[in-house]
Amino acid sequence: MQFDIRRDFLDGIMLQQPQNRNEKQEIKAGGQLHFLPSSPDGTMHTAVVSFGLSLDEKAPPFAQGGWRFLFTTDAQFDPSKEQNHPFFQNLLVVGAGKIMAQINNLAMHAGLPLIPFEPQRMTMAAGAPVAVPAAAAQQQ
């Protein structure tokens, strides 16, 4: 199966002052990959990486964003049935990196410290590394 990214772009971004600004507190990151319904022939697909940063797991993220990928396959393909494919794990890491680049750009202009991004420290949560929204799963 051949995957080809046709386009990718920033879907949205938000950065605000963290509520608790303890310099020694570790920033927690979380991300997901969501799929929108594929084309009728099953060869054109849209994936959205959502990524957020928080200081407290109970508080809403102080920074979050989304990056959209439009990709094609050389044959009919259902992303919701192949969620553990290495291509999607790469999309998640690449999308998170692109979002972090934009968040750090905003942080620099807001006078906030830059946040290091270390993909080698990223881990996949137990279960599927990607999530398919219920609405998208029902439409496919």
pLDDT tens per residue, range 69-82? 999 999 999 998 88
pLDDT at 119: 75
pLDDT tens per residue, range 14-38? 999 877 666 677 888 889 999 999 9
What are the structural domain ranges in the chain?
A: 3-15+25-118
Q: Which of 8, 12, 16, 32 is nearest to 102 (CA)?
A: 12
Q: What is the CATH number of domain 3-15+25-118?
A: 3.10.420.10
Q: Which of 91, 90, 118 is nearest to 104 (CA)?
A: 118
Q: How confident is the model at residue 132 (pLDDT cuts 50, 70, 90)?
A: very low
Q: How confident is the model at residue 2 (pLDDT cuts 50, 70, 90)?
A: very high
